[in-house]
Amino acid sequence: MSAIRLPYLLFVGDERNDSNAKTAFGVRQWRPEACVAQWNLPGGTVDIGLPRMTPAEAVAQGARSLLIGIAPVGGGIAPHWVAPICEAIEAGLDVVSGMHMRLGSVEAIRDTAARCGRTLHDVRHSEVRFPVGTGVRRSGKRLLTVGTDCALGKKYTALALTRAFQAAGHAATFRATGQTGILISGAGVAIDAVVADFIAGAAEWLSPANAPDHWDIIEGQGSLLHPSYAGVSLGLLHGSQPDAMVLCHDPSRLHIEDHPGFPIPPLEEVMDLHLRHARRVNPASRFVGIALNTSRLSPDAAAALLEDTGRRHGLPAIDPLRSDLAPVVRLATA
Amino acid sequence: MSAIRLPYLLFVGDERNDSNAKTAFGVRQWRPEACVAQWNLPGGTVDIGLPRMTPAEAVAQGARSLLIGIAPVGGGIAPHWVAPICEAIEAGLDVVSGMHMRLGSVEAIRDTAARCGRTLHDVRHSEVRFPVGTGVRRSGKRLLTVGTDCALGKKYTALALTRAFQAAGHAATFRATGQTGILISGAGVAIDAVVADFIAGAAEWLSPANAPDHWDIIEGQGSLLHPSYAGVSLGLLHGSQPDAMVLCHDPSRLHIEDHPGFPIPPLEEVMDLHLRHARRVNPASRFVGIALNTSRLSPDAAAALLEDTGRRHGLPAIDPLRSDLAPVVRLATA
């Protein structure tokens, strides 16, 4: 990641759905000093909360790289993004992408970058040859955020918990497992881009043996309940051997997003399913908190829901962006 | 697969462990007419039950391709195989491999094949761009073999059941999910070589919508209980939406092979775990049989164990190579 030139112009294209722009929102939230401006194409309505600039304007303000801030399902580069990406390269920007499809696989992008002497970064693709997972226990402590669905707070919870562990005096490292987490933290593995046979092995590689009291706070991916991505989630769970898990949930979501036939079961069932798998690799694995995304609720309603959820499940219930996370840290390290 | 020239010389190298040669054994068992001879290197003791020949001798007997019949963990090409593989190419054979590592990634193999005008086949790698899984139900019936571990009979059970369904007058298609199954049936997807995000999508692609009474008999991979490969197994389970499952088990195996810290739980627990995941994608999913690998038992001991297992679980218990499979077919199609 050291080769990426900062700061970024965040490309959000003609996207109208905030949840497809989670890369842009995440980098803006957790690495604001690395973000100069956002670039919307005509028709695009996503608002990251940054000034809107063209590539030429952003370069004049110091931007050095165009970050592809949108992540459509399937991870492809839309044909109508090619000309704008080339325009950014011509203006002097490198390009950074977390998509499955490599930037250099598009001839116009590859040729423009070569002609202008600019660099293309595909952070979703690792050059590491991951081993097959072993299941062998390793030293150090690990916390994994897991979820009832995609895109509801697993990364934010892990980032916020990493700060809370550190604030409480514990050695803790955020371990990114997705492109946005990698762009925020500067390291990690896009676990969903690994060849299927090596998911658990890549997860073991990502959080190697460490000091006995060091905590890796590992960003979860997907959901065991998700009909598209559960395999990724289970491999990551096995390879992470979590001592502690935090269940992330959006109380407004009654079924898997875009999959109305897949209801979210009661949280106790979801936790039980995770524990059955986690205890294969770590018999002491347990839940230490429930993280609710309460962004759609008033402060009072959020507080009431968190208190009720915590009491019902006998666990600290928190919103990573609103709550004091110390109770989770205390329970994990007790 | 039509471009593969038959028959095969089966390369088993210096392997001494039969279970690492399951590709050679599987092709010999299920496609005997395609196998001319086996080739052991000095020190190798695996016996496929075929005459032993060098490449030149096998070519004289009609062999047209060298099949790499061993599958070491991790799927690599051992350095000391390179010279023998090149010798086979020089003798006039194409080379067919199911390994993760592509034959052409080894310079000497690539150059020798180019010079001799021979073809290299890497059947584990698909040229298909698989979609993300959707979870949408599709027509047709599906049976998936699942297992308590790797390498204990999921493929043999699926192949034998396909014949049993057909013998009972049902339209049925074997769906291969691993390299050996692909080499036997001539089609399929090596599901463990798919990028993790697309496991379920590849499984959906593999068994597309079909006539309402048509059965896809899908070869399982890995095990939900396996610390290395469970992610592959769960993605395949979700994408297969099985109406019926058969649990494959080796009664002599008390823990995951090579992983003594991972005991095999009671079969009812294993079936319950599978049903919890399967019913997310198909609420009617159920078990219709238990397949035991009784190859290490006498006929009497095997019969007694099968009867006891069947009675205990209230399901037909069969050995795919010894039993009448009609009870499984009847229960599945009842």
Q: Which candidate in A179, A197, A198, A272 is best for mutational testing of the B interface (most B CBs within 10 A)?
A: A197
Q: What share of chain A has pLDDT > 90, as a percent?
A: 90
| pLDDT (0 to 100) of residue B2 | 40
Which residue among A73, A135, A230 sits closest to B132, beta carbon to beta carbon?
Answer: A73
For residues A42-67, average pLDDT = 97
Q: What is residue B174's three-state secondary structure? A: strand
Which residues in chain B touch residue A276, judged by CB atoms under 8 angstroms apart? Answer: 273
CA distance B222 to B203: 14
CA distance B156 to B130: 26
CATH architecture entry for A141-333: 3-Layer(aba) Sandwich (3.40)
Which residues in chain A touch residue B262, judged by CB atoms under 8 angstroms apart? Answer: 135, 280
Banded pLDDT at B238 (limits 50, 70, 90): very high
> Does pLDDT of A152 surpass 50?
yes
Would you say A10 and A55 are in contact if contact means Cβ atoms under 8 Å apart? no
Which residues in chain A touch residue B238, judged by CB atoms under 8 angstroms apart? Answer: 227-228, 230-231
> Does pLDDT of B1 surpass 50?
no
Please state whether beta strands A120-122 and A94-97 pair in parallel, antiparallel, or not at all (unpaired).
parallel
Which residues partner with B318 through β-bridges?
Answer: B291
For residues A277-281, average pLDDT = 98
Omega within 30 of 0 (cis) for the link into A7: yes
Would you say B131 and B205 are in contact if contact means Cβ atoms under 8 Å apart? yes
Q: Are B197 and A193 inside 8 Å of each other by CB?
A: yes
Q: Is B311 exposed, middle or buried (0-12, 13-18, 19+ CB in 10 A)?
A: exposed
Pick the residue from chain A with its C-alpha nearest to B101: A129
Ramachandran assignment for B153, one of left (phi > 0), alpha (psi -120 to 50 degrees), beta (any other): left
Would you say A260 and A270 are in contact if contact means Cβ atoms under 8 Å apart? no
CA distance A9 to A29: 14
List C-alpha distances in Å: A248 to A155, A156, A231, A310, B120: 10, 10, 18, 13, 47
> Does pLDDT of A146 surpass 80?
yes
Looking at the complex, report in whole angstroms how far the Cα of residue B129 sits from the nearest Cα belonging to chain A: 10
Which residue among A135, A136, A196 sits closest to B191, beta carbon to beta carbon?
Answer: A196
Q: What is the mean pLDDT of chain B?
A: 95
CA distance A119 to A128: 20
Pick the residue from chain A with its C-alpha nearest to B233: A231
Q: Which candidate in B105, B146, B205, B228 is best for mutational testing of the A interface (most A CBs within 10 A)?
A: B228
Neighbours of A170 (CB within 10 A): 17
Q: Are B195 and A235 inside 8 Å of each other by CB?
A: no
Structure tokens at B136: 């949408």
Which residues in chain A touch residue B225, judged by CB atoms under 8 angstroms apart? Answer: 280
| pLDDT (0 to 100) of residue B281 | 97
CA distance B141 to B212: 7
Q: Is B79 exposed, middle or buried (0-12, 13-18, 19+ CB in 10 A)?
A: exposed
Q: What share of chain B has pLDDT > 90, as a percent?
A: 90
Main-chain dihedrals φ then ψ at residue B212, nearest 5 degrees: -55, -30
Q: Is A303 exposed, middle or buried (0-12, 13-18, 19+ CB in 10 A)?
A: middle
- What are A185-215's pLDDT values in tens digits? 878 999 999 999 999 999 999 999 999 999 9
Count of CB pairs separated by less than 8 Å, A with B: 137
Q: Helical H runs in A61-176?
A: 82-90, 107-116, 154-167
| pLDDT (0 to 100) of residue B73 | 72
| pLDDT (0 to 100) of residue A1 | 41
| pLDDT (0 to 100) of residue A47 | 97
Banded pLDDT at B66 (limits 50, 70, 90): very high
Residue ranges per structural domain of chain B: 8-122, 141-333
Question: Given this structure, which CATH class describes domain B8-122?
Answer: alpha beta
Looking at the complex, report in whole angstroms how far the Cα of residue A286 sits from the nearest Cα belonging to chain B: 18
Banded pLDDT at B244 (limits 50, 70, 90): very high
DSSP calls for A47-65: --SS-B--HHHHHHTT--E
Would you say B110 and B103 are in contact if contact means Cβ atoms under 8 Å apart? yes
For residues A91-115, average pLDDT = 95
- What are B171-188's pLDDT values in tens digits? 999 999 998 999 998 789
Q: Which of A73-82, A275-284, B94-103, B203-212 has the lowest mean pLDDT?
A: A73-82
> Does pLDDT of A21 surpass 80?
yes
- CB burial of B110-140 (b: ≥16 within 10 Å; e: otherwise) equals eebbeeeebebbbbbbbeeebebbebeeeeb
Please indicate whether the domains covering B8-122 and B141-333 agree at the CATH topology level.
yes
List C-alpha distances in Å: A288 to A148, B239, B249: 16, 32, 35
| pLDDT (0 to 100) of residue B4 | 85
Looking at the complex, report in whole angstroms how far the Cα of residue A76 sits from the nearest Cα belonging to chain B: 11
Which residues in chain A touch residue B227, judged by CB atoms under 8 angstroms apart? Answer: 133-135, 200, 238, 280-281
Question: Among B218, B238, B199, B201, which residue's Cα sits nearest to residue B141?
Answer: B218
Q: Are A74 and B132 inside 8 Å of each other by CB?
A: yes
Main-chain dihedrals φ then ψ at residue A296, nearest 5 degrees: -90, 0
- What are B11-48's pLDDT values in tens digits? 999 999 998 998 999 999 999 999 999 999 999 999 99
| pLDDT (0 to 100) of residue A15 | 93
Pick the residue from chain B with its C-alpha nearest to A73: B132
Looking at the complex, report in whole angstroms how far the Cα of residue B136 sits from the nearest Cα belonging to chain A: 8
Q: What share of chain B has pLDDT > 70, as a percent?
A: 99
| pLDDT (0 to 100) of residue B128 | 87
Q: Which candidate in B100, B129, B194, B229 is best for mutational testing of the A interface (most A CBs within 10 A)?
A: B229
> Does pLDDT of B212 surpass 80?
yes
Pick the residue from chain A with its C-alpha nearest to B99: A197
Which residues in chain B touch residue A131, judged by CB atoms under 8 angstroms apart? Answer: 74
CA distance B66 to B54: 11
Which residues in chain A touch residue B228, judged by CB atoms under 8 angstroms apart? Answer: 132-135, 197, 200-201, 238
Q: Which residues have a Cβ under 8 Å from the Cβ of A24 and sit 6 or more positions away?
A: A10, A11, A12, A38, A46, A48, A67, A69, A70
Main-chain dihedrals φ then ψ at residue B324, nearest 5 degrees: -75, 125
Would you say A229 and A201 are in contact if contact means Cβ atoms under 8 Å apart? no
Q: What is the mean pLDDT of chain A?
A: 95
Interface of A with B (CB under 8 A): 73-75, 100, 131-137, 191-197, 199-201, 224-225, 227-236, 238, 256, 259, 261-262, 273, 276-277, 280-281
Which residue among B75, B196, B276 sits closest to A193, beta carbon to beta carbon?
Answer: B196
